[in-house]
Structure 1
Amino acid sequence: MKLHLSQPVSNHINSTIRITGSKSESNRILLLKALYPNVSIENTSNSDDAQVMEKGLKISNGVVDIHHAGTAMRFLTAYFATQEGKEVVLTGSQRMTERPIGVLVEALRSLGAEITYVNNEGFPPLKITGKKITQSKVSLPADISSQYISALLLNASSLENGLELELVGKITSVPYIKMTLALLSQLQIENTFEGNTIKVYPKKDVKANTLVVESDWSSASYFYSSIALADLGSQIILSSYKENSLQGDSVLSEIYKSFGVETIFNENKVVLKKISTPKLNKLVWDLANAPDIAQTIAVTCFGLGMGCYLTGLHTLKIKETDRLEALNTELTKLGAAISVTDKTLTIAPTMAINKDIAIDTYNDHRMAMAFAPLAFKTSLIINDAEVVSKSYPDFWTDMKTIGIGVV
């Protein structure tokens, strides 16, 4: 599906949007519910990823196809490996078979798990035979995707002796690890995080509990970008959000101050207001703890004519696509002076934006959504626009609500 985006009749926004639950939180709680069936969930994400996660957890034998869902691949690898009596082949899309899983598989094998590679060493598909795991100590590199770490932590309390996980080196994506541990704590599953060592203690049963998923901060980023690119005085109200969020992407409220956007927390809503024009010529920010908002921030800077130097992006190369190279290609088409390394992105200030450029999305939902707010500055085309359903099925309807022409 190809969509043509046109500039709003007015660049002044005054809208209210409800965003469904966080994909990251939903997938964690869905796994915990599979381990502890008396856990209930409210405001679950309506994303493709959450749906394939929920479906996959119900399969005990046979093929589990998680399509493009990287979180589900990591979480379910650890889940099936630690569930005695289950035997599955865990697979996904063509891109998923190119995304490395070896670090997690080796960690699970060192605990006694039985996992073999169906095709290529280090990559899905995986044949997993669930076993009773009694070993309780394992180590992982600290600078890998936090999803590998969370995959182990989420399943740890179901192990006979729990888990002691040592992270070797400098830890990245700390907020996502803390999100996982906070959810365990909500279920009274004892855990500690001291220095580079995380311990999760065994727990056979938990009390009946309802966990409410906060709305997705990654999804909120596209409205932050829209407000930044819109006229002064523009406002969007988003729900449901809380000030002390578990999600690392809530750092948006700090970052977007540089773009003249004020964030006001009001009960379970957040109000975004464009209160000033940006005074910075160049944004410098380390996104190691929030890499999923890098695309949005890069596009915002380009749309405002600002330069940027974004660091901490080393995990972007193994996402749905190599996001750094994808940004390099698509922003260059629009007229940006951009350069990338394996972990940084640099854009030089420029006020020229090419019109009616077709943006390729590379089977990556965030490529489609990050570029959409540029419609406040120029008309553009989004190829394979349906990819947004991976995390945000209502995205294009909500873009219309804030005034963007979507045909």
Structure 2
Amino acid sequence: MNLQLQTKNPHLKGTWQVTGSKSEANRLLILQALFPQVEIENLSNSDDSKVLQKALASLEEVIDIHHAGTAMRFLTAYFSIQEGRKTILTGSKRMQERPIKLLVDALKSLDAKIEYLNKEGYPPLAITGTKLTKHHVSLAANVSSQYISALMLIAPSLENGLEIQLNGEITSTPYILMTLSMLKTLGVEASFENNLIKIQPLQLHQKKKFVVESDWSSASYFYSLVALSNSAKIKINSYQKDSLQGDSSLVEFYKSLGVKTTFLENSIQLEKEASVQLPKTYRANLVSSPDLAQTIAVSCLGLGIGCELSGLHTLKIKETDRLVALHDEMTKLGAQVEVTNDSLKLYPCRNLKENSLIATYNDHRMAMAFAPLALKTTLTIEDAQVVSKSFPDFWEAMQHFHIQCKKV
């Protein structure tokens, strides 16, 4: 399904309820599978969370998680400790191109039984669940934080717990801290100091309820709408100031792009501050929140300013190579863009081309990042239903804020 987007009303007002955080929900689903006393409220309605739920409930030998990268990483660790169970863990064609060797190597060093069925270092995997008694593992710190969180999530169910030594500079620290905080809330004795994570075993005897905060990554598209509007005062619900989610850094990132955030009792209010003097070139290191890169780059494109974004090395192994995808699609709109393995440079572009067809590469964030540009030009989003991976009612939200979405 392709959607043509346009608007005749760049003045935004209204309220929207964003689904629960995919990042929080998926961690809690693994913990619930290991500790059935865990109860979850405001669970994400994203495809990724539904796929993970289905996989955890399945008794089949073959588990297909399609495009869900988080599920692949978390389930690799989870199934490796399901004693006596044999599982073939597979996914989409793109998933079979996304590396998982570092996580598999770490689990194998703990005596997990995992084999590659096709290409060395990549899914699909054949996993035979076994009891893991070793309690020390080390791996590179500059990899996807999901590898590290996958190990952390199974750690309290191991009889000796787990020590995880991270080597080098850590990527996406907030996501590691999110996992650590959830473990502590569950009652796990855990620490993270000097690149060493220590997690003790847990016996849970009473029920524990978690309420999932709304997704800050999804909030980024509302920030972009406000930044690109002529005027705006919108509210999005179920957010808190002391968030576990690293992407709550949006609040600071978008200040200099003219978006003011006010924290209310259980929501945030976003307002356009027209008096803000925009920078000629916006600069940000996104090593702790790389999922914001697409949104911020497109916001800068729509505002007619340049940007230099760094800390983006993990974008190469996402749903697509997001740096190349950003380069190609922004170029269609008339932009001049340069990318390296870990950075993006956008030059100011005053006149956006109209009626561009934006490819999405099976990547939900490509579709959602480019959608707010409808406030500046007419464009068509290819394979628009891809948003269901993390934000199923995204297009309803866009229409609520005056973006006309027409099937073409």
TM-score range, shorter chain: over 0.9
Distance in structure 2 (CA, Å) of the matches to 1:172 and 1:228: 28
2:36 aligned partner: 37
Match of 2:252 in 1: 254
Deviation at 1:59, TM superposition (A): 2.6
| 1:3 alignment partner AA | L
What secondary structure does 2:298 align onto? helix
The TM-score, its normalising length taken from structure 2, stands at 0.98
The structural deviation recorded for 1:279 is: 2.4
Q: Residue deviations 1:13-48, cap 9 Å, x none?
A: 001000010000000000000011011000000000
Alignment of 1:370-385 (within 5 A): 370-385=369-384
For 1:257, give the aligned amino acid: K
User: Quick check: 1:140 aligned with 2:139?
Assistant: yes
Residue in 1 aligned with 2:399?
A: 400
Match of 1:166 in 2: 165
Cα deviation for residue 61 of structure 1 reads 4.4
The letter of the residue matching 1:135 is K
User: Partner of 1:236 in structure 2?
Assistant: 234
Structure 2 counterpart of 1:148, one-letter code: Y
Give the equivalent residue in structure 2 for 1:387. Answer: 386
Q: Which amino acid letter does the alignment assign opposite residue 6 of structure 2?
A: S
Report what 2:5 is aligned to.
5
Asked if 1:69 corresponds to 2:64, the answer is no
**Amino acid aligned to 2:150:** A
Please tell me the residue identity of whatever aligns with 2:239: Y
Q: Within 2, Cα distance between the matches of 1:169 and 1:384?
A: 39
SS at match of 1:336: coil
> Mapping of 1:117-128 within 5 angstroms?
117-128=116-127
Partner residue, 2:312: 313
Q: Is the 8 A contact 1:3 1:385 kept in 2?
A: yes
Matches within 5 A, 1:95-106: 95-106=94-105
The one-letter code matched in structure 2 to 1:339 is: E
Code of the aligned partner of 1:326: A
| 1:42-88 deviation digits (Å, cap 9, x = unpaired) | 00000000001011112344100000000000000000001212211
**How far did 1:206 drift?**
4.5
The amino acid across from 2:192 in the alignment is F
Which residue pairs with 1:286 in the alignment?
285
- Structure 2 CA distance, aligned partners of 1:24 and 1:315? 16
- 2:349 maps to what in 1? 350
1:263 corresponding residue in structure 2: 261
Aligned length: 405
TM-score (norm. length: structure 1): 0.99
2:85 and 2:11 map into 1 onto residues whose CA distance is: 55
**Where does the alignment leave 5 or more consecutive residues of structure 1 unmatched?**
none
Identity %: 58
Q: Offset of 1:297 from its aligned partner?
A: 0.2
State the Cα distance separating 1:10 from its structure 2 match: 1.6
- The CA deviation string for residues 157-193 of structure 1, in whole angstroms up to 9 with x for no partner, is 0011000000000111100000000000111111011
CA distance in 2, matches of 1:187, 1:386: 36
Query: Aligned partner of 2:307: which letter?
Result: C
Partners in 1 of 2:164 and 2:302 — Cα distance? 43
- Unaligned regions of 5+ residues in structure 2, if any? none
Distance 2:213 2:165 in 1: 29
Matched residues in 2 for 1:294 and 1:236: separation?
22
Structure 2 distance, partners of 1:326, 1:197, is 35
